[in-house]
Structure 1
């Protein structure tokens, strides 16, 4: 097979990232981008109606729309080809090092098409802080904590030996700079492959390298990397977050991946077709079980290495679905089969580079994967289609558009309607004054005092209601935690009575996770309901403020409250705890116990200590994060309305001659028609009317 060489002009070879076939599957993002453009055009019309203040607010809204960057977190097995897949998706086959050393724990965020100020870096690398490094090297990370807690001295010593070796290798690499670098960030104006390798990819034989070879120089201490790239095939900003996986010695990757998942709404799980879902991947299942099923996509990679993918893929699909069902994983997730290797071959200059066995697998897969819709495709486009990347992008586009995309459009339309309403109220007041009517206006200092009180009252209302929600949530969580510990202890005692101490007992913590997840879902609904009620109350208070402050009658005007914030998934529930480690570690713990009392007290203390951090994460840290999100949404809404009311108040003091030139359109009838048109454009169906001025 020969790849058709794409040309532009005389002899200009189109870069991989510009191949037209890379747009396959992105049609819904194109449509979404068009909706964004339409909303921007409508906001530009608002500027024509409202003068400088409206222009300032419209510009801010447009900027927020243009910088909207949905994020996708990629997780998966080590050696599943996840990084190769990410490279193919952005058209840069060699960008991220795909053969990373097991020590490396770097989350790499690829910011595609993000609008940046001229002096912004295109690459930024954050190092571990001193505290994070100390936690690893002194305590052995999570696995060290667990081993120490369980008295697993032998396992703990192995962990310490491994960490000591890593620490010495790191110090040899960095010398006296080592301590100074912790907690720092390195920024670069220009991105190169060598730069990425220096911070992300660990060299295995550093001592044998030449002095000028800097591969892996900072990889041990790099915590995260942010890289900014242009991706011409993608019509909008998008962040692909490549995580280091979860099955590592010290559980460093697990915690880092949990944090990355918390920051994303969409998750792609990359599996190897050879492994599918094995016992090593229970950590993956535990993580994705706490994400909404609709927001999980499973990409089964490396089908190019199967001998007969046409027959084997259906078998692998059934195996994955069964494993997920057996272990309480996501229900009916979307499964996509493909090959990052094929995708990168499609981007190369010569398809003859493909390995013979992989070519045979491709022909075999083509028999079932190609249809009439692919009849007119060129060879490299067919290979791209068979790689599964277009199907993956189509699934991602659908979820972006239906999830965070729909939310940002709805929120922007609400804010724009409120802006138009404020401009219209201002216009009505100005028109009445220009017509010689007397307008009773609340004095500016009195208006500010009123708004201060309105903000204080509604903020208190929000926090009082959230206190009740979180108290109920905490109580449910504590009860679930205690019930689980009591049941587990009872099961342990029954096992000891029935089987004695020689037969090792096992007990799954999945029941606890399910109970906590259910409690979290109830809390999430209660928070949304509370926010809806408080935000609607604030909108009604503001509508009354417009009437009482300016005494004007405004047609087709309402204050639309914001939506409740989207609450992140409880991904910390997927954290590994002692009961998940049904391995030699657990057997060692069991064999060190003598006597029923030692088993009972040791087990209860161990599991309580292991699960308490998860419970506290939900009850305290995650609840506080949700509270801050709700408060921030309310504050931003009130601040926008305060600005609009202040602007109207300022216009009420202007002289008649100054009012004449304040708007771009002077014909009142034309202004009213444009108001109605814009409001209809922004309504997107029946407008929500929490507060209305009549």
Structure 2
């Protein structure tokens, strides 16, 4: 191992850094599996018609477009954006110091396949309705204050919003109203361009309009940036979100929406503050995501005086805080420094500040081992930064979660395609051999398939109706039970302590009840889908036999997997009882008399929690139903295309069949069928054992 010594300058090549691949080994293995499956699908093209080629090409395209997403959430000033910049090898891409209003979700699409004329940067502005909700109602805080009659707090919110609105209008002028709801696309991505939409500058009056830093930052809702990342072996998306503890709770809702779109979440904390009462919003959000899909990265250990001794203490504190507040159990906690990572990417390691260098040497004493022997200096610093460990955690979760699912799904679809083409091939072989093939008339086949699809969709919805009805009843019961218990607790408090002592009551009990109901619903939906999809696949297999009278070796129709049901992240939304601050004390002091407390409290909390309950019962339930229906209809559409293709071949004249296929080519296809079926079946068996 090269000795890490003070004053040792190491010039890093300006191009790609090979050490950035550290930790991504499992992702490379997964990508190799994708390539192997693509090659097998390329062989499938040789089996059949143009239609088979189109279906294989579509499967290959979906594999290449697979883009697992990772949402980064965290404390304000945790260095989250600097960490994202380091992870993609672009230290200056995203501005780390944004203004207090900025609520932009920035999605970095790494290695995404794009058409030649596609933009590499897209910025979406808030719509008129979203802006009006903030300006007129004060966002979530404004809603809450208005509902509770907190006029003083509401007025403060309105004053702050008015200040923001005036500054925004002064910067954008008459274009302001016209820009809302629009989208700006750019062919070329630059750091300066990002700053115009994400970062706020104070001296915009002195700048030319085209060069204004942060010109559109106040009204930008999301940014999609497309980048090449040579070190990363496949496409994926890093989604950088604003901090959750902002004045109007705009960011909280935006972060919740971002979490819905990702299966993996990285929580970035600062080593100086770890987890505190200010971070309950973070804990509430990640408590509703599967523990395996949460990674905690404790940043800024470069600012600790003695990280070797302090890191274990911070780890214990984080785990204890999560345990005390019903957070995820045993999450993976990684310690590191975005500052060190960006130093490792820089031209000169001598740029590191002295205090940080001392912390680096201190951390190296416990963090380096025999595996790091032989690493050069910048690679050692990269290793100590924690980014390779973070990438390893993410690579494992991608490969074992959404990656394994896309492989399994694609292999099932490929097996079904091969089975269908093989059935078609058998019909052709029989006819070339001079056998009569008694087939179902084409029109009758189409009618049969229409009925089969309609019956299975009806069966799916009938059973899902039962699941969602049971879910809705459990949710309503949990909601009412919580309100009744909270009201009883309030009355007992008033009787015991009177009206002068402020009462506190945690809504976490409601969240736990609702989360349990959601988990039961999730299992029931998956079971229902598995049962209905199996019925559909069995009926389709029988259709092959009855429609064409062909008994094909190894013939099977594999049902699709039940859709992956998203986490109920809306349960993490802040409600009135979470705000045990001056706001809640103000509400308390405005009440006089037990009856006023009781009726006011019940109405307030019911109004506050009703949207969360409706979100689960209506929006999420409808979304899950649509996912299940889409899975079934896509499956039926693929099988319909295969069956109608066989029907058409059965009507082609024998002479035409010989011209299209040929006897020798037909024999070669039989050999290829055996090879492809074995390849796909072996892969599917591996997927099944891993699951």
TM-score, length-scaled by structure 2: 0.97
Q: Is the 8 A contact 1:49 1:664 kept in 2?
A: no
CA pair 570-432 structure 1, distance change in 2 beyond 3 A: same
CA distance in 1, matches of 2:672, 2:197: 55
Q: What residue is the counterpart of 1:269 in the other structure? A: 267
The offset of 1:53, in angstroms, is: 1.6
CA distance in 1, matches of 2:555, 2:594: 73
Shift of 1:212: 5.2
Contact 2:103 2:242 in 1 (8 A): yes
Give the equivalent residue in structure 2 for 1:599. Answer: 597
Which runs of no fewer than 5 residues in structure 1 stay unpaired? 7-12, 689-694
Do the aligned residues in 2 keep the contact of 1:298 with 1:335 (CA within 8 Å)? yes
Aligned to 2:633: 635
Which secondary structure state, in structure 2, belongs to the residue aligned with residue 544 of structure 1?
Answer: helix
2:582 alignment counterpart = 584
Q: Distance in 1 between matches of 2:512 and 2:561?
A: 28
Specify the SS of the correspondent of 1:558: coil
Cα distance in 1, alignment partners of residues 660 and 273 from structure 2: 68
Map of 1:691 onto structure 2: none
- The question of whether the paired residues in 2 share the 8 Å contact of 1:107 and 1:242 is answered with yes
1:2 to partner: Cα distance:
3.9
- 2:390 pairs, out of 382, 389, 392, with 392
Q: Which residue of 2 aligns with 1:87?
A: 85
Give the structure 1 partner of residue 664 of structure 2.
666
Instruction: State how 1:206-217 maps to structure 2 within 5 Å.
Output: 206-209=204-207, 211=209, 213-217=211-215
Q: How does 1:298-447 map to 2 (within 5 A)?
A: 298-447=296-445
2:295 aligned residue: 297
How much does 1:656 deviate? 1.5
Q: Which residue does the alignment assign to 1:9? A: none
SS of the equivalent of 1:684 reads helix
Q: How far apart are 1:442 and its partner, in Å? A: 1.1
Distance 1:26 1:686, change over 3 A: closer
Deviations 1:440-484 (A, max 9, x none): 111111111111111111111111111000000000000000000
Cα distance in structure 1, aligned partners of 2:210 and 2:529: 57
Shift of 1:204: 3.2
Distance 1:685 1:380 in 2: 39
Counterpart position of 1:468: 466
Give distance in 2, aligned partners of 1:136 and 1:56. Answer: 48
Q: Is 1:622 aligned to residue 628 of structure 2?
A: no
The DSSP-based 3-state class of the residue aligned with 2:99 is coil
> What is aligned with 1:251?
249
Q: Secondary structure of the equivalent of 1:300? A: strand
Return 649-658 or 590-599, whichever deviates more: 649-658
Alpha-carbon distance between aligned partners in 1 of 2:120 and 2:280, rounded to the nearest angstrom = 36
Task: Using the TM superposition, give the Cα deviation of residue 673 of structure 1 relative to its aligned residue in structure 2, in angstroms.
Answer: 2.8
Of 45-54 and 344-353, deviating more is 45-54
Q: CA deviation at 1:54?
A: 1.3
Q: Give CA deviations for 1:160-181 in whole Å, capped at 9, x if unaligned.
A: 0000011111111111111111
Aligned pair partner of 1:36 in 29, 34, 39: 34
In 2, Cα distance between equivalents of 1:215 and 1:322:
42
1:188 aligns with 2:186: yes
Q: Deviations over 1:92-142 (max 9, x none)?
A: 000000001110000000000000000000000001111101000000000
1:559-618 CA-to-partner distances (Å, cap 9, x unmatched) read 000000000000000000000000000000001100000000000000000000000000
Q: Distance in 1 between matches of 2:48 and 2:429?
A: 13
Q: Structure 2 regions of 5+ residues with no counterpart?
A: 1-6, 687-691
> Are positions 1:203 and 2:201 aligned together?
yes
For the 8 Å contact 2:411–2:684, the answer to whether it is kept is no
How far is the alpha carbon of 1:208 from its aligned partner? 4.9
**SS of equivalent residue, structure 2 residue 49:** helix
Match of residue 692 from structure 1: none
Does structure 1 retain, via aligned residues, the 8 Å contact 2:10–2:349? no
- Report the CA distance shift for 1:686/1:215 in structure 2 as closer, same or farther (over 3 A): closer
**For residues 423-453 of structure 1, what are the alpha-carbon distances to aligned partners after superposition, in whole Å with 9 as ceiling and x for unaligned?**
1000000000001100011111111111111
In 1, Cα distance between equivalents of 2:683 and 2:267: 36
* Counterpart contact for 2:411–2:683, Cα < 8 Å: no
**1:4 and 2:10 aligned:** yes
Structure 2: distance between partners of 1:510 and 1:687: 42
Q: How does 1:59-208 map to 2 (within 5 A)?
A: 59-208=57-206
1:200–1:222 CA contact under 8 A, matched in 2: yes
C-alpha RMSD of the superposition: 1.3
Count of residue pairs the alignment pairs up: 680
| 146-155 or 443-452, which deviates more | 443-452
State the 1:210 CA deviation.
Answer: 5.2
Name the CA distance, whole Å, in 2 between partners of 1:179 and 1:249: 24
Q: Report the equivalent of 2:4.
A: none
**For each residue in 1:523-564, what CA deviation from the matched residue of structure 2 results, as whole angstroms up to 9, or x when unmatched?**
000000000011111101111111111111111010000000
Residue-by-residue CA offset, 1:38-85 (whole Å, 9 max, x unaligned) = 101111111111131211110000000011000000000011000000
The answer to which of 557-566 and 672-681 deviates more is 672-681
Contact kept? 1:48, 1:664, Cα under 8 Å:
no
TM norm structure 1: 0.97
For residues 231 and 410 of structure 1, the distance between their equivalents in structure 2, rounded to whole angstroms, comes to: 27
Residue 11 of structure 2 contacts residue 349 of structure 2 at CA under 8 Å; is this kept in 1? no
Cα distance in 1 for residues equivalent to 2:235 and 2:567: 23
Change (3 A) 1:625 1:211: closer
SS in structure 1 of the partner of residue 229 of structure 2: coil
C-alpha distance in structure 1 between counterparts of 2:65 and 2:430, whole Å: 39
Other structure's SS at 2:222 match: strand
Aligned residue in 2 for 1:676: 674
Which stretch has the larger CA shift, 671-680 or 228-237?
A: 671-680
Q: Report what 1:10 is aligned to.
A: none
The answer to whether the 8 A contact 1:110-1:228 is kept is yes
1-side partners of 2:663 and 2:495: how far apart?
Answer: 88
Cα distance, 1:662 vs structure 2:
3.2
How far did residue 686 of structure 1 move? Answer: 7.2
Contact 2:146 2:154 in 1 (8 A): yes
* Deviation for aligned residue 1:664: 8.7
